[in-house]
Structure 1
Amino acid sequence: MRFIPATAALLIILAGTAGAIDKITYPTRIGAVVFPHKKHQDALGECRGCHEKGPGRIDGFDKVMAHGKGCKGCHEEMKIGPVRCGDCHKGGSTH
């Protein structure tokens, strides 16, 4: 009986990653940023690290958040992933 909660938790995690969007492209003035959403979800194992209110758009996500506590801040804290402009912004202007 004690395995039921663990099994239920695993199924919830797997169900969340099964429907994950693969990639999200953000057009910017200095080059599109392609965010590998599913890769991040698979690595982190849960949504609430970024999506405080659950799956869906992140409230208040903008350039300031991406360059601050969001993308860049997380990469610096975890000491993994891109932190320089050209590492994320590819291909010149998208506007």
Structure 2
Amino acid sequence: MSIRLLGAAFLVLFYVGIGYAIEKITYPTRIGAVVFPHKKHQDALGQCRICHENGPRKIDGFDKVMAHGKGCKGCHEQMKKGPTRCGDCHKSG
């Protein structure tokens, strides 16, 4: 298989993956589940690498500390857009 063909196959798979992005991701937590609107963020940001530095897959090291630090909350504070208070993300019931 030639390098061009491999490159083309990679690009097709990459762009097909973008088209089928996960709509929402739910993180169960002690104080209430957090529903992350993944597709909405992808559409708004336009670039996967803003969050997925190592390519399209689960974010390495994503946990409570990252979400409350440079991840979710930090990005929302920096962009002055989106929820930053506990009850804005954590929904019980």
Give the TM-score normalised by structure 1: 0.79
Q: Distance in 2 between matches of 1:36 and 1:50?
A: 14
User: How much has 1:87 moved relative to structure 2?
Assistant: 0.1
Unaligned runs of 5+ in 1: 1-10
1:29 paired to 2:35: no
Identity %: 78
- The alignment yields a C-alpha RMSD, in angstroms, of 1.9
Pick closer, same or farther for the CA change 1:15–1:46 going to 2, 3 Å.
farther
What amino acid is aligned across from residue 36 of structure 1 in structure 2?
P
Q: Deviations over 1:28-49 (max 9, x none)?
A: 0000000000000000001000
Is the contact between residue 23 and residue 36 of structure 1 (CA under 8 Å) also seen in structure 2? yes
Q: Deviations over 1:32-78 (max 9, x none)?
A: 00000000000000100000101011000000000000000000000
Aligned to 2:82: 81
Is the contact between residue 25 and residue 32 of structure 1 (CA under 8 Å) also seen in structure 2? yes
Q: Distance in 2 between matches of 1:58 and 1:65?
A: 10
Aligned to 1:7: none
Aligned to 2:54: 53
Q: How many residues align?
A: 82
What amino acid is aligned across from residue 71 of structure 2 in structure 1?
G
Q: Distance in 2 between matches of 1:60 and 1:54?
A: 14
Aligned to 1:69: 70
Unaligned runs of 5+ in 2: 1-11
Q: Which moved more, 1:12-21 or 1:68-77?
A: 12-21
